[in-house]
Chain A
């Protein structure tokens, strides 16, 4: 049934009340608090930062507040800050503070990537804080964190899942045409069990670790984007990122797993 949506302007009072609420709800994340943020308490993260005190504005993590399926929580990390003209974001690292192993993934970015915005799907063991850290080519650092509550709803109980075949069905979606200097969205998906090495099989034996470790994208042989993946990336790794080629190029996507096997996908990028 369509609802007639006759808009009524919000009263000033209501707007103010809203603003006050927002201020309240972000209290725990004031810049000050973030400078001593959770990354200081997580060794894997603080190692990445060294002595640097990261800026707490600019890096944005998007995750649902509440997720009903900890096995595949959609995550987007994006850089909205400003850098010097000759600088660019070169690394982003993601951590799950409440997982048995905190590393989720590390991304290497280049100017060929154009837009620092990456999406993937991650495993979160329990309710926890997720951390993102980024560095620029010239050494600027950024950090942010987001709280996620994981509830597995009874109505959402999983069926027995048989792991997918490793490295089957590499899929790539590219824009039909790239425009020089403008970032185009690229999405990739591949079948892989991403077996953590922590799980028991039906016979009670621990299933051996078997994960996709590295993903690279080259343009005419030069690395344009790369990712190191850990157990916390969901089965059938999905990555959404950007490429910004400056001229026609051969693009090669390569996925490598920890058994030494790999899969490739090649395409020609044309500007138009």
Chain B
């Protein structure tokens, strides 16, 4: 049985503590009895098998916190990439304020310090009845509990003319990595006097304030290097996250460099011509771009659909107290893929949700009931390198649904002096360092 071999190999990895080693060996020695799919009543040291799909904010956190809750749980993390580039702070890269290395993270700590088995492959299918996951590398993993944190996939052609090929000409850069680098190269190559056009999506989508932070930091780059260039945001919404704060910040730092056209002023783009860098709105206005950034409509990562946990919206409804799927037993889903509103689709929320899931699974596997959860979130956005704003929220389950706790959290003040904005920009960096430390524990 290949699983048996893999697990045995896993227990021999260097860097494990003696205790982990013993527990790992215990698990391996029970394997032949398990038959892979037996519901887990597992004796002799293994506290159950959990497979986590996705090594981003939600998945990496879930893997680590499961091990922290109970090192005897066998945790396998499936993630194709060996280096994870965070979307948070990728806008700083686009604005020329950071390099890609500074937003890159790896899996060494999860593997070496926490004893998570990390498999760099893509999960292709889930068999929820058989409690198995099929990987692209041919391996099959059996689980007692499955955690999905696959993030988002794009609805290619959900916006006419915008498909994977178009994204090579008009990047989305809404998953960080090669797309971010492509967009940055285009911005650098653009002649002064050009227009950066951003197509912003309707709700719900990953990171509600993200498009407006990006517009800000591109405007910052222009103000330093291409002073005659403009930013035009064509939006499928009439209002957006922290709108008052963004608008005031834009005026303060960039004058009229940034123009925002909302839904009711014919801002909704309905067709993209990536070849000619041209977009057309619902009422027929055409806009030509020098650099075109299309943030397309989104849905849960495809593996969620394969697991049968999505609804007809393309997102995943979950039980609020545990984030277990409403539809499929023993499958837990966290992060952007879920319907967790009023919690936004943020990395911070994914990290928090993952901790709640880890606690719930660890409790369940040892026959206890899950602790009562609460979640917090802060979204920092940088309007300039020294101009930060934020919105914070605290969430609990109230009357069976996730609700924002009234009076907790809040928004940066509207009329704060510059030094407060500068402090918030510093806090944003502190937040980034802390959450990445908590999630991956490493930079590459």
Contacts and interface: CB of A to CB of B under 8 A. Distances in A.
5 contacts: A17-B129, A154-B409, A159-B245, A161-B239, A235-B238
B106 interface: no
Interface stretch (A62-70, A76-84, A95-103): A62-70
A34 B104 CA distance: 54
Nearest to A240: B282
B158 interface: no
A8 B136 CA distance: 12
Closest 8 A/B residue pairs (Cβ): A159-B243, A159-B244, A236-B264, A155-B344, A154-B393, A151-B342, A155-B208, A151-B341
Nearest to A164: B264
Contacts of A154: 342, 344, 377, 391-393, 404, 409
Quick one: which of A164, A171, A187 has the most chain B CB within 10 A? Answer: A171
Given A4-B122, A171-B283, A187-B283, A155 B308 contact: no
Contacts of A74: 202
Given A1-B80, A3-B302, A154-B409, A173 B244 contact: no
Interface string A245-263: 0000000000000000000
A249 to B, nearest CB: 21
Interface string A1-12: 111111010010
Interface in B369-404: 377, 379, 391-393, 401-404
Contacts of A191: 264-265
B78 to A, nearest CB: 13
B41 interface: no
Interface in A1-36: 1-6, 8, 11, 13-14, 17-18, 21
Nearest to A234: B238
Nearest to A15: B308
A17 B313 contact: no
Interface of B: 80-81, 122, 124-125, 127-129, 134, 136, 153, 164, 175, 177-178, 202-204, 208-209, 237-247, 263-266, 282-284, 301-302, 306, 308, 311, 313, 317, 327, 339, 341-344, 346, 377, 379, 391-393, 401-404, 409, 411
Given A4-B136, A164-B264, A156 B244 contact: no
Nearest to B404: A154
Nearest to A152: B342
Given A1-B80, A1-B175, A17-B308, A156 B344 contact: yes
Given A21-B327, A156-B239, A173-B284, 5 more contacts: A13-B129, A64-B313, A160-B244, A173-B282, A187-B282
Interface size class of chain A, counting residues whose CB lies under 8 Å from the partner chain: 35 or more
A153 B343 contact: yes
A74 B238 CA distance: 12
Contacts of A67: 203
Contacts of B317: 65
Contacts of B311: 65
B239 A158 contact: yes
A72 interface: yes
Contact of B208 (A2, A72, A156): A156
B393 A68 contact: no
Contacts of B136: 4, 6
Interface of A: 1-6, 8, 11, 13-14, 17-18, 21, 64-69, 71-72, 74, 149, 151-161, 164, 169, 171-173, 187, 189, 191, 234-236, 238
Nearest to A13: B129
A234 B242 CA distance: 21
Contact of A68 (B153, B203, B264, B409): B203
A187 B266 CA distance: 11
Contacts of A156: 203, 208, 239-241, 344
Contacts of A72: 237-238, 263
Contacts of A157: 241-243, 391, 411
Contacts of B125: 8
Given A14-B129, A153-B341, A71 B379 contact: no
A187 B313 CA distance: 24
B203 A69 contact: yes
Nearest to B394: A154
Contacts of B128: 14, 17
Given A71-B239, A158-B243, A235-B264, A1 B344 contact: no
A17 B329 CA distance: 12
Contacts of B127: 11, 14
